[in-house]
Amino acid sequence: MISHETITGILKNYDKENITIGTIGSHSALQILKGARDEGFKTLAICKNNRKFVYERFHSADEIIGVSDYREILDDDFQNKLINKNLILVPHGSLVEYVGAKNIEEKFRVPLSGNRATLEWESDRNKEKKWFKEAGIKMPKEFKSPEEIDRLVIVKFPGARGGRGYFLVDHKVGFFKKIRSRGMEDEDYTIQEYITGTRFYPHYFYSPITGEVELMSMDIRYESNVDGLARTPHWAFKHYAPEPSYTVTGNFPVVIRESLLHKVLEMGDNVVFASKKLFPPGMTGPFCIEAICTDDLKFIAFEVSARIVAGTNLYIEGSPYSQILYNEPMSTGRRIAREIKIAIEKDMLNDVIY
Ligand code: ATP
């Protein structure tokens, strides 16, 4: 892991009047870049050559750089070019997926918004479990081997893949059949109790400057094909029985029943508190807890994303919650840029950048 001192050493030489906020052209880049621009920063997008036109079409950044592979950002010359532009890069799910958490932590010297040590904790399921345990948040039961399956379970594969390839099964025989048919036998997998309930993916922002955890917004993922199955008439399943799949294709806005709000706020507080204990100084900036609310109104969480999530894209103009907090259009992307701006003013950049 590149040390905090190395990054703050690079940051020390930055022209603070001339910071550029940049990100990878994917995931939540349109929102991040708009937020940075709204806060008065210069902006830069690094895009795959074949997706550059999307960001050009939206006039989304002052500068757009094309690459043929996102891993090109790890090249020394490329990194120096970014550092010379006084660039702070905002990490998101596509950066982690395409460049790799380890590569970012160990090879990428460009200052990142947030704490880069967090990437390791959110992308490793065992560490994530430890984190939830420390936070006192209930998780679905996990089964160590297929032989132990005694109820409906969801089988997951590693990485931020938006649910791709996941399947449901309720017995070991079905497990082996399905994993073989997918050609995934040699992959790492997690077997997790399938929880029935309603999903809530609250988006939080933790500021070490104010010491507060803000609830910015919430979404539900729109997943193919499971969210489409309800539209298929029941009689059709006699001859046509598609497997549910969980590939993210979009997001729905949601607000939570107000009498459940305290539980959502407590989960956020506890996750931040636990992160300070497990990897001091802990997580800073945006994060999301993926949770299911059961019919006895308990929350069971199955994932923490310790960075901006794409569900925040719904709220470029703010959400019902951020409206109450800010009374101005405040997306999570803009909140990230606002934090950097306040940190520059208060000379606290080292607390929000690593
Ligand atoms: P990402 O890293 O992009 O968040 P992922 O590949 O890690 O996605 P998850 O978010 O863990 O995948 O799960 C994908 C979807 O599968 C969820 O949005 C949810 O609909 C469903 N799901 C996951 N775990 C459970 C569970 N234990 N019970 C019921 N549904 C689940």
Domain covering 142-193, topology: Dna Ligase; domain 1 (3.30.1490)
Cα separation, 336 vs 328, in Å, equals 15
At the fourth CATH level, which superfamily is domain 123-138+197-342? ATP-grasp fold, B domain (3.30.470.20)
Nearest CA to ligand 1 atom 18: 221
Domain covering 4-113, topology: Rossmann fold (3.40.50)
Ligand 1, atom nearest to 195 Cα: 28
Nearest CA to ligand 1 atom 25: 194
Cα separation, 312 vs 28, in Å, equals 8
Instruction: Quote the pLDDT of residue 162.
Output: 66
- The encoded tokens of residue 310 equal 């794409």
Cα separation, 208 vs 211, in Å, equals 5
Start and end residues for every CATH 3.30.470.20 domain found in the chain: 123-138+197-342
Instruction: Quote the pLDDT of residue 125.
Output: 85
- 248 alpha carbon – ligand 1 mean position (Å): 9
Tell me the pTM: 0.94
Start and end residues for every CATH 3.30.1490 domain found in the chain: 142-193
Query: Could you tell which of 188, 218, 246 is best to mutate to test the pocket of ligand 1, judged by most ligand atoms within 8 Å of the CB?
Result: 246
pLDDT interval class at 160 (50, 70, 90) = low
Instruction: Quote the pLDDT of residue 336.
Output: 98
Question: Where are the extended beta strands (E) located within 159-276?
Answer: 167-169, 190-193, 198-207, 212-225, 246-253
pLDDT interval class at 245 (50, 70, 90) = confident
Region of 155 please: left (phi>0), alpha (psi -120 to 50) or beta.
beta
Start and end residues for every CATH 3.40.50.20 domain found in the chain: 4-113
- 214 alpha carbon – ligand 1 mean position (Å): 24
Cα separation, 327 vs 331, in Å, equals 12
Q: b vs e for 151-184, b when ≥16 Cβ sit within 10 Å of the residue's Cβ?
A: eebbbbbeebeebebbbbbeebebbeeebeeeee
Binding pocket residue ranges, ligand 1, CB within 6 Å: 93, 140, 154, 156, 160-163, 166, 192, 194-195, 199, 221, 223, 246, 290, 292, 302-303, 305
